[in-house]
Amino acid sequence: MTVEPSHTGTLLAICRVHQLITTATGSGVTAIDKRAVHGPVKLRPFGVFGDVQADAEHHGGPDQAVYAYSQEDADYWSAALGRAIPPGLFGENLRTQGVETTGAVIGARWRIGKALLEVTSPRVPCATFGERMDEPQWVKRFTVAGRVGTYLRVLERGPVQAGDTITVEHVPSHGITVGKFFSDPTVEHVRTLQELHDAGELTLNEHYWSRFERILQKNTTGHAT
C-alpha cells in the first residue's frame, strides 16, 4: 500500500550529541545528551552527521541510525512530569510534529528534505535513560506508557533542517506499528513480519529476531518475555 504524498508533519528540530557524559550504568559513558542544532545537517546511513553513539553494541548502526520522537508524546510527558521536555532530552535526533512516531507502521518511508528514511523499530528504554531523566521508576513508567518513538534507517542521504516538511511516501499494508509491537506483540505479528521479511518486502532490524523468539516461547510455555 502506498499513500499519496502529502504534508503530514513538520521537523521541529534536529539534534545531535552535545557532550559525552559519564554514567553509572551501561558502558560508563553515554551520548544521550543531544541538543538541537541550527541550519541544515546531513543524514547519512549511520545517522546524523557529527553525532555519535557511546555504546555501539546497543545503539546506532544502519537499522537504528536516527531516533525520532514526536512533540505530541513530549507534551504528554511534560504534563505528566511537570517539566519541559526540550528536543533531544530523550536522546532523540528528530523532534517531529503532526506525524506519528510511536504510531508509525514498520517499514513506512518518510521524506524529509532530500533524505528518505524508513521506520524500523521501537526504542527500548534502558537504565542509562533512567539515569538521564532522574525520575522515580522512569524506565517502567516509560515502558507502561508505550510512547516510545521510532528508530529509522536512512535509505537516501541528504541534508535536513528544522522546519522541513515530513512527507509519508509509503505505508505498508500490514499495519503493525512500532508502538503496537513494543506494547502488545502477538504471534500473528511475528508471523506476518517474518513472512514479509522472507519475501523481501520488509527489511527488519536485527534486534527483532531475539524478540520473536521470546514471543513465540511465551506462547508455547506461558512464561513471561
- Mean pLDDT in residue range 73-93: 98
Q: Say yes or no to pLDDT of 224 above 80.
A: no
pTM of the model: 0.91
Task: Give the per-residue pLDDT at 220.
Answer: 75
pLDDT at position 7, please? 58
- pLDDT band of residue 225 (cuts 50, 70, 90) is very low
**For 132-141, what is the mean pLDDT?**
96
Residue with cell string 514471543: 215
All 3 cell numbers of residue 72?
505530541
Mean pLDDT of 96-101: 96
Buried b (16+ CB within 10 A) or exposed e, 186-218: eeebbebbbebeeeeebebbebbeebbeebeee
Q: What is the DSSP letter of 64?
A: G
- Integer Cα distance of 70 and 72 in angstroms: 5
The string of pLDDT tens digits covering residues 138-168 is 999 999 999 999 999 999 999 999 999 999 9
Confidence at residue 29, expressed as pLDDT on a 0 to 100 scale:
86
Count Cβ atoms within 10 A of the Cβ of residue 139 and give its class: 0-12 exposed, 13-18 middle, 19 or more buried.
middle
Mean pLDDT of the chain: 91
CB atoms within 10 A of CB 8: 17
Reduced DSSP (H G I as helix, E B as strand, rest coil) percent helix, strand, coil of the chain, to 5: 25, 30, 45
Res 57 pLDDT > 70: no
Residue 123 has pLDDT above 90, yes or no: yes
- 8 A C-beta contact, residue 29 and residue 131: no
